[in-house]
Amino acid sequence: MSITTKALYVIISVIVATIYGLALNGVVRKIYARVHGRFGPPVWQPFIDIIKTHGNNVAISHGIMYYLGPVFRLAGGLGTYLFIPVIFGSVVFSNFSLAGDLLLVMYFIFFGQLGMALGAGEGGHPYSPIGIARGLAQMTTFEVPFALSVIALAIQYNTLNITTIVAAQQGSILNWTLFTNPLAVVAAMISLLGMNMHSPFSIVLAPQEIPIGPPIEMNSSFLATLQTNRGLFGAAKLVLFMNLYFGGAAHANIFVALLIMILKTFIIYMFSVFVGAAYPRFRPEQSMRFFLKWPTLIGIASILFVAYF
């Protein structure tokens, strides 16, 4: 395959993922609104917001790191996405999954946050360091059960290559990690709650106490970059979880496969939405303690389960 076709495929893949992620946000906002008994914003509201913020004709910068913050964040989102095969066996949606493995993806998940921390820190607003401190602390703790679960997978499938892991789950629904190693899935799904930052773990953005958290000084196109990344990164995380634990999306017809992908990721996302709608918010130290307690133990148990049984 020539490099131009590959680039074309990647661009298609990224655009599809971004649009899907943003539409997912819109749908979830609509669902929340219906639960409240409201009409809610239209499903395409996130797109209008991005167009509007890009169209703002004044943009304030606080320095070079401030410029780079959103860029790093988007790079983190792109990096996470580009090394995950979205649809198993598809040429267009395989991305660069042959070039990198699970560890690289995990690194990219963290990378964006760190870049954002540096950028938002230069904004000078006192609320952004508070948000960053909370965000990074929470992030470090929910990485623990996720990493343990990934180690369990690595032992189980004897590889860190995501494509191979997906390939091992094909054939029957009983081949999914959900059924072959349920403990690892439980640990990872709990850490997904932290990753998605829905209600029990939404202290980072905390619109009431520290308005909006890290991106408080971000304006105009900086904010639009972050919003785009929110769609892309959200989709990438869900696709990663679908690949690792729920058998991935595979079908001979690419559109059917896309439909399977949308269905599975939507259900995975709904899990954290339902939890978020039902539970009140944790304080930072509570959420850290939570992640280091049961999910970590379940993660260790999943490794023992794989290693000895």
Partner 1 sequence: MDKKDMKNIEKEMKLANEGLSEKERTLFSDARPTPVRPLNKYVEKFLNWARAESLWILGYGTGCGAIELRPLMTSRYDMFRYGIAPRPSPRQSSVFIIGGYASLKTIKRIVRSYEQMQGPKFVIALGSCTINGGMYYDSYYTINRINYYIPVDIYVAGCMPRPESLIAGFNKLKENIKAGKCDGMNKYAKNFDWYKANQKKIIKDWNMPDYNW
Nearer to partner 1, 52 or 293 (CB): 52
CA distances from 62 to 68, 89, 116, 119 (A): 11, 45, 14, 9
Identify the DSSP state of 281. P
Q: Looking at 16-24, 55-63, 75-83, 180-188, which segment touches partner 1 (CB under 8 A)?
A: 55-63
CB neighbourhood size of 237 (10 A): 23
| Residue choice 16, 27, 49, 75 for contact with partner 1 (CB under 8 A) | 49
Pick one of 7, 8, 12, 33: the residue that binds partner 1 (CB under 8 A): 33
For residue 253, the number of C-alpha atoms closer than 13 Å in the C-beta half-sphere is: 4
Comparison of 161 and 219: residue with beta carbon closer to partner 1: 219
Are 32 and 40 contacting, i.e. CB atoms less than 8 angstroms apart?
A: yes
CA distance 293 to 117: 26
Tell me the closest approach of the beta carbon of residue 80 to partner 1, in angstroms.
25
259 DSSP assignment? H
DSSP string, 192-249: HHHHHT-GGGTTTT-TTTSTTSGGGG--HHHHHHHHHHHHHHHHHHHHHHHHHHS---
Name the token pair of 153: 């997978």
Determine if 39 is a binding residue for partner 1 (CB under 8 A): yes
**Using the rule CB under 8 A, is 40 a contact of partner 1?**
yes
Residue 16 within binding range of partner 1, rule CB under 8 A: no
Binding to partner 1 by residue 180, rule CB under 8 A? no
298 near partner 1 (CB under 8 A): no
User: What's the closest the beta carbon of residue 76 comes to partner 1, in angstroms?
Assistant: 21
Sequence-distant (6+) residues with CB within 8 A of 72 are: 111, 112, 114, 115, 116, 118, 119
Nearest approach, Cβ of residue 245 and partner 1 (Å): 34
Ranges within 213-232 binding partner 1 (CB under 8 A): 216-220, 223
Nearer to partner 1, 207 or 280 (CB): 207
Site string for partner 1, 186-215 (x = CB under 8 A): ---------------------x---xx---
Q: Which residues bind partner 1 (CB under 8 A)?
A: 29, 33, 36-42, 45, 48-49, 51-53, 55-60, 207, 211-212, 216-220, 223
